[in-house]
Structure 1
């Protein structure tokens, strides 16, 4: 049995959960707050970051969402998520990096700091200037998603891929934390609604992070 160490609004854990569900891989969730610096978790991942995926029967510990995704792409044939020609696979990986690195650094990470960590850990109010900047950047990224969906059925091409899962995982956390304005992004909203309607995504929409509540539209697959 696989055990996934994560917390509900970790975007990288969400990406792994989506991938595992799309591939039909069973797993159990283990709640892990990495900011608590549990010694047992540090033994699994000295970097103290989620997700970590373990399989005690096989003696496996997998760390880092990209490494985990590549492992299952190589070992599970069902629902390939890095597929197509070499050029298509390169495009998928480019978009994964864009959302895992740039979107996280500019949008999801700051929102987690301001609206989760400051509330739950440091007991500080969020910085309004930082929030305004993250929402502005999120809007720029949604403009780019609009452009991609104007030209492709899915972000990287003709079929759903890990690029879509990575982007949706980041955007879903930003949406949970009130950092997404969908009003001017019909293409992006339609793409995201299609992903929210997939069976792999639905469990994410029901989970909540302690006392932090999402906007009313968050769990609506048509919103």
Structure 2
């Protein structure tokens, strides 16, 4: 979720003692990643929906980069989903979502970049842009070629995840990490519109069913986009 940079904008500083608030968009995988980490850490937070495409001045005052999510927390305004998640893991260490070893942390960061950069560019962004955001923003009709290319990319990424899960309990290793939440955030957005071929890999399907059943996922599964109903199986734990 990237908007043009506003070089003259400056971030506002929240007043001390304000409750934590996450400025987000329901089907933003980056917002969802942060929400999942917040919920896993049991950090109470208010949700404030941000229509980022309208480019209101408040968005740029919170984050000069003009991007969501933005987390108001600990007297600061925090931006960039990966930086937010790692900050939360360092300041609220239980349960840990980053490995103790440097090699383990590297693998988590590598996979977070895989999903937030590569998967997003090849699958999440083109499919959601065509099938969701064009409708919400009233900017035209879906391009079927873009959707088809995105759906093919999802299958290729599922194959890669399958290869990881053949050797590991979770994507980055033996424990649940931010990498799992990054991947699940993207897949949950696509699953809202039933665009994931869960029959392609039993291992990936089981991984998603396991993470989807965690209490941290309840808020995400309750999301609704006006005028766009979720797939019938979206909130079901047995799908």
- The interval holding the TM-score normalised by the smaller chain is over 0.9
Tell me, yes or no, if structure 1 residue 165 matches structure 2 residue 197: no
- What residue is the counterpart of 1:26 in the other structure? 44
Shift of 1:191: 0.2
Residue-by-residue CA offset, 1:188-214 (whole Å, 9 max, x unaligned): 000000000000002211211111122
- What residue is the counterpart of 1:98 in the other structure? 114
TM-score, L = length of structure 2: 0.89
Residues 102-121 of structure 1: pairs in structure 2 closer than 5 A? 102-121=118-137
- What residue is the counterpart of 1:128 in the other structure? 144
- Contact kept? 1:92, 1:162, Cα under 8 Å: yes
Q: Which runs of 4+ in 1 moved over 4 A?
A: none
SS in 2 for 1:155: coil
Shift of 1:123: 3.7
- What residue is the counterpart of 1:4 in the other structure? 22
Structure 2 residue corresponding to 1:142, chosen from 133, 149, 158: 158
| Whole-Å separation in 2 of the counterparts to 1:74 and 1:222 | 33
Residue-by-residue CA offset, 1:22-67 (whole Å, 9 max, x unaligned): 1121111001110011111221112222100013xx4310011011
| Whole-Å separation in 2 of the counterparts to 1:59 and 1:156 | 32
Count residues in correspondence: 221
| Whole-Å separation in 1 of the counterparts to 2:87 and 2:219 | 23
SS in 2 for 1:97: helix
Shift of 1:149: 1.2
- Contact kept? 1:111, 1:134, Cα under 8 Å: yes
| Whole-Å separation in 2 of the counterparts to 1:47 and 1:210 | 27
Tell me, yes or no, if structure 1 residue 42 matches structure 2 residue 36: no
- Contact kept? 1:4, 1:29, Cα under 8 Å: yes
SS in 1 for 2:172: coil
- What residue is the counterpart of 2:8 in the other structure? none
Where in structure 1 are there 5+ consecutive unaligned residues? none
- What residue is the counterpart of 1:152 in the other structure? 168
| Whole-Å separation in 1 of the counterparts to 2:136 and 2:41 | 34
| Whole-Å separation in 2 of the counterparts to 1:46 and 1:97 | 22
Q: State the Cα RMSD in Å.
A: 1.2
SS in 1 for 2:215: coil
- Contact kept? 2:158, 2:200, Cα under 8 Å: no
Structure 1 residue corresponding to 2:78, chosen from 62, 82, 87: 62
Stretch of structure 1 that moved more, 115-124 or 75-84 = 115-124
SS in 1 for 2:78: strand
Shift of 1:75: 1.0
Where in structure 2 are there 5+ consecutive unaligned residues? 1-18
- What residue is the counterpart of 2:210 in the other structure? 194
Structure 2 residue corresponding to 1:81, chosen from 78, 81, 97: 97
